[in-house]
Amino acid sequence: MTPFAWCYPAGIFAVAFLPRLPPFAAIALIAAAALLLAWRSPRWRWLAWGLLGVCHGALWGHAQLAHNLPLALDRTDYRVVGVVSSLPRVDSAKARFVLRVEGIEGAASPPVETLLLSWYGRGQSPQALPRLGERWRLDVRLRTPRGFANPGGFDYRAWLLGEGISATGHVRAGPANQRLDDNAGGPVARLRRDLAAQLAARGDSAVTAGYMAALVLGDGSRIPARQWDYLVATGTVHLMVVSGLHVAMVAGVCLVLGLGLGRVASALGMHLPAPQLGGVLALAGACGYGLLAGGGLPLQRAVLMTAVATLALVARRRTGTWRAFALALLGVAVIDPLAVLRPGFWLSFGAVAALLLWFGPRPGLGRWRQLVDAQLVVFVALLAALLFFQGQVYWHSPLVNFFMVPWVNLSIVPLCLAGALLQGIPPLGALCWDLAAWQLDGLAAALEWAAARGEPFAWQPASARAPWFVAGLVAAAGLLLLPAALGLRGLAAALLAGLLLGRPAPGPHLEVTVLDVGQGLAVVLRAGERTLVYDTGPAFSDSFDAGSGIVAPYLRSLGVRAIDLLVISHGDNDHAGGARELARVMPVRRTVAAAGAVPELDAEPCVAGGRWRWEGVEFTLLSPPAGGQGSDNNGSCVLLARLGDLAILLPGDIERAVEERLVVTWRDAPGDGIDLLLAPHHGSKTSSSTAFIRWARPRHTVFSAGFRHHFGHPHPAVVARYREAGGALWYSAASGALVFRWDGEGRGPEVVEHRLRPWRPWWLR
């Protein structure tokens, strides 16, 4: 059983990294060969199990793609009937929820199964919101599942595929939108919905309400963005994501309760074996909490491991901890073959594996030694994963966790769950929640205090995502976790010292990255060790913006610790919406902006004629003139960067009137032509006049616009003018992030299209 439990999930997870899914005929041949190998060669059965896992993962992939909305039907309208299967996420603009489709009507009804929908305007009408477990009829416009494609960023497309989302979209206004049934989702959905309503009605602070929803219902969407930053900066995110610690605590309480009941029953002469009763109650408690909290990946792993241990206890059979670990890995792989792409997978299984490696040979450690060792072991073991996914770690997080973990798991979580269980007895339930809320207020203040003092402890190496660096950290952590008798810790220390002291190879002399932010613009220009950000993309909602969600993760993946200069072209949301949050999560040394573009930031005015020089690159502001047009499109801050004969022009959203002025006022600015031009106003028909294109003579032109966006950028006539002028045309909607690199010796640019990179996996094609 154990080789199967290790090799089968390894085969499933391997499929996530294939460039293409094998066709059905190839899957059948691989399965037949694997079965023959397992029958004829017992010593090679491990390989057979791995190949069968590959077949499983490939079939799952084909099944997921089969119910995705085809690209040919993108932006089409349908009438659907379905059941709301998630707690709606509500902000000031919209409500967002998952709908499990039961029926669909339209010109070409696709075989979609699950939709992720936004209902705009419903954020202002809570009484009319769809609720978990309700059946609705809705008119919707659907989009093919798609995400932004940026280095270092969250892979939304993989998340959608792993969640089984067939299409995204929004609800269209109309009389057909009606609630058909209040209780179509079953008792668990009704319980979660009622508890969510009771928590929302308590009147707690936004932070406390978000924490309680996260701990009781597994709904972390209500935690304010700033509080998430504090959790990251203290290494305590796991405390507010229902995980194995929480499930183990619930299972342990139920086990003790069952053992006590069993002993009482035996004393009364009843034949009720205490271990078996305790095991059954522990399993029931773990499964119940898992269902109540939504069944996320850490919960799946924890519940599966609890189930293995419990079943062994009930059957009176011994089972090893590693066997339980392998079976949990198998269960997660079968449920979600793309789980291996998620940070939670590596953090969850990595933490458990490290604890098993460390404490397995050391069963006699004292309680305080166990608490200290647990924090240090988990931190060391997860160092590589944390750096890879976050771009930075904080050295003081083990100390913070030493105090926070017992507080949350032994006091706050039990009170939160007791309050949920005792809602049938309102005074007791309210008392438990009041005590939990009082402690959560203190916890929030403590985390904010610790996060504010954690900046000196931040570590953000430039090589955080380099394969050699990650592999070295994993190897060093593994050597440290092995028994000291093997004498390998000196090697681990030497390896760590080399990684910490080593420096990556110098990057290109000049690098420009046009990030994929949909309908908007965000550009990162790096000259040597200096970093300039031109525009920050839009704010999409109260909880997500391109500045903190796309630009900052990309900069951290490069090892950038601070932005030397932030330039905001003008105040439109698609250019400046992410500026405030970007400046909050990453230090900005200097800001230049069009008049009134970002009133929250201390920005210098953008005025034509301004100049500065970095690493041999000369920057010049070409527009607006002093006392110019303000922060509208024609008041955009136009920036020219030159490195010798190389020229890069970032014109914001200027229109033809300003283009004509540039052609006259800065006649010689392009020199021999612009090497890289951001098409003004995303390629709108109001910009990119023939005179401007002749003046710029661009060799590379980038259109930064949304995929099949309703604005229709770039306009076909504009594209035709650029094509007639010659030069290469690039589209962020098709290419994802576009990286242009010059080596400073006249060669280049080297161009990388992140969405179309040749090594991309099948689920991005």
Distance CA 35, CA 43 (A): 13
pLDDT in tens, 432-450: 999 999 999 999 999 999 9
pLDDT at 244 over 80: no
pLDDT of residue 731: 96
The pTM assigned to this predicted structure is 0.89
pLDDT of residue 491: 84
Spatial neighbors of 398 by CB under 8 A, at least 6 apart, are 235, 375, 376, 378, 379
H or E element that contains 611: strand 611-614
pLDDT at 453 over 80: yes
**3-state SS string for 415-471:** HHHHHHHCCCCHHHHHHHHHHHHHHHHHHHHHHHHHHHCCHHHEECCCCCCCHHHHH
Strands 393-394 and 178-181: unpaired
Assigned token pair, 612? 């500065």
pLDDT of residue 297: 60
pLDDT of residue 291: 84
Q: Smallest Cα–Cα separation from 392: which of 454, 475, 474? A: 454
Spatial neighbors of 189 by CB under 8 A, at least 6 apart, are 85, 132, 133
pLDDT in tens, 522-536: 999 999 889 999 999
**pLDDT category, 611, cuts 50, 70, 90?**
very high
Q: What are phi and psi of 138, to 5 degrees?
A: -140, 145
Residue with tokens 């290790």: 6
Q: Choose the weakest-confidence range: 543-547, 595-599, 713-717, 752-756.
A: 595-599
pLDDT at 328 over 60: yes
pLDDT of residue 515: 97
Long-range contacts of 102-105 (CB under 8 A, 24+ apart): 102/135, 104/78, 104/79, 104/80, 105/78, 105/79, 105/80
Q: What are phi and psi of 638, to 5 degrees?
A: -100, 125
Q: Where are the extended beta strands (E) located within 106-239? A: 114-120, 135-143, 167-171, 178-181
pLDDT at 125 over 70: no
Domains, the chain, in order of start with CATH, read 2-66 (no CATH), 71-185 (2.40.50), 216-459 (no CATH), 467-501 (no CATH), 510-764 (3.60.15.10)
Distance CA 734, CA 706 (A): 9
pLDDT at 11 over 60: yes
Q: Is 613 exposed, middle or buried (0-12, 13-18, 19+ CB in 10 A)?
A: exposed
Q: Distances from the Cα of 751 to the Cαs of 155, 738, 754, 757, in angstroms?
A: 21, 7, 10, 10
